[in-house]
């Protein structure tokens, strides 16, 4: 497998559906939350790898609007884990100049979490390194509905509604669309992730469970991406 530094072209924005924590734990006879804990540790390693490769935008899908349907203890465990990750991420963000962004519905989250996310976004907003988007309480359909609501409350002229203005009303606003969406854990679906933004993303599915998705697996995904032909509806020249 070639080193990522030799892989060309590299995607500008990689978005990851971090799936398979529960099964990782189950296989070992451990509680699901232990899988999430290991998943959290892996998220940190993965961020470091993409920093090394100088990928400028990374999005991590950590909690969907449908994940509220899980048992209360699991949901609370995931919230606790996010808080921990944000706390330990402060120093890394400062050191590596990471700009943290949140994609998702903030209002639906507990006050404490809202505050912590707002702080992380505020404290890092002028950083010029990688943009790390945390998709937490994120749903692609919710994002589109919220955008429509805001356009109506802004009394936007109908003639002004086009793909560009619509994009500006999404949580992702100024973030470029993902070039590559990776889903670990073997399921071949998007599960309400980046519904609008995924229109022309390359999609890479791997059976590897999220806690096991290491640097070698990242290189495999990037090498696959580099061989894809992106046509965007055009025909190949001559």
**Which residues inside 37-96 make contact with ligand IPE, applying CB under 6 A?**
39, 61-64, 67, 78
Asked about 126 being catalytic, the answer comes back as: no
Please, what sign has the CA dihedral across residues 61, 15, 48, 89?
negative
Least Å distance, CB 232 to ligand IPE, is 27
Q: Considering CB distances under 5 to 8 angstroms, the limit depending on partner class, which of Mg ion, ligand IPE, none binds residue 14?
A: none
Q: How far apart are CA 119 and CA 115, in angstroms?
A: 6
Least Å distance, CB 10 to ligand IPE, is 23
Least Å distance, CB 23 to Mg ion, is 8
**Which residues inside 17-46 make contact with Mg ion, applying CB under 5 A?**
19
User: Angle at Cα 62 formed by Cα 90 and Cα 226, nearest 5°?
Assistant: 95
Q: Considering CB distances under 5 to 8 angstroms, the limit depending on partner class, which of ligand IPE, Mg ion, none binds residue 21?
A: ligand IPE
Determine the interface stretch with ligand IPE among 20-28, 123-131, 151-159, 172-180 (rule: CB under 6 A): 20-28
**Cα 123 to chain centroid, rounded:** 20
Buried b (16+ CB within 10 A) or exposed e, 70-84: eeeeeeebbbebbee
Give the C-alpha distances (Å, rounded to integers) separating 44 from 15, 51, 146, 213. 15, 11, 30, 12
Copy the structure tokens of residue 122: 């505020």
Q: Considering the candidates 19, 21, 137, 192, report the single residue annotated as catalytic.
A: 19
**Which residues inside 176-215 make contact with ligand IPE, applying CB under 6 A?**
185, 187, 189, 191
> Residue 64's beta-bridge partner residues?
138
Asked about 19 being catalytic, the answer comes back as: yes
Catalytic residues: 19, 67
Applying CB under 5 A, the residues found at the interface with Mg ion are 19
Q: Which residues bind ligand IPE (CB under 6 A)?
A: 17-23, 36, 39, 61-64, 67, 78, 185, 187, 189, 191
């Amino acid at each position: 497998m070639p080193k990522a530094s030799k892989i060309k072209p590299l995607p500008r924005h990689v978005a990851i559906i971090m799936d398979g924590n529960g099964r990782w734990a189950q296989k070992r006879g451990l509680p699901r939350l232990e899988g999430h804990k290991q998943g959290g540790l892996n998220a940190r390693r993965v961020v470091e790898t993409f920093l090394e490769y100088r990928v400028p935008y990374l999005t991590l899908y950590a909690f969907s609007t449908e994940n509220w349907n899980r048992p209360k203890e699991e949901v609370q465990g995931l919230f606790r884990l996010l808080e921990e990750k944000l706390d330990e991420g402060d120093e890394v963000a400062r050191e590596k100049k990471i700009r943290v962004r949140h994609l998702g519905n903030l209002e639906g989250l507990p006050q404490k979490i809202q505050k912590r996310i707002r702080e992380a976004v505020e404290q890092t907003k002028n950083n010029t390194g990688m943009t790390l988007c945390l998709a937490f309480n994120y749903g692609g359909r919710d994002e589109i509905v919220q955008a429509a609501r805001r356009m109506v409350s802004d009394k936007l002229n109908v003639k002004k509604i086009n793909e560009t203005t619509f994009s500006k009303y999404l949580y992702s606003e100024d973030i470029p669309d993902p070039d590559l969406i990776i889903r670990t854990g073997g399921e071949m679906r998007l599960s309400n992730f980046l519904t609008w933004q995924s229109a022309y993303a390359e999609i890479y599915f791997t059976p590897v469970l999220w806690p096991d998705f290491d640097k070698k697996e990242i290189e495999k995904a990037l090498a696959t991406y580099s061989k894809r032909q992106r046509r965007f509806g055009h025909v190949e020249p001559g």
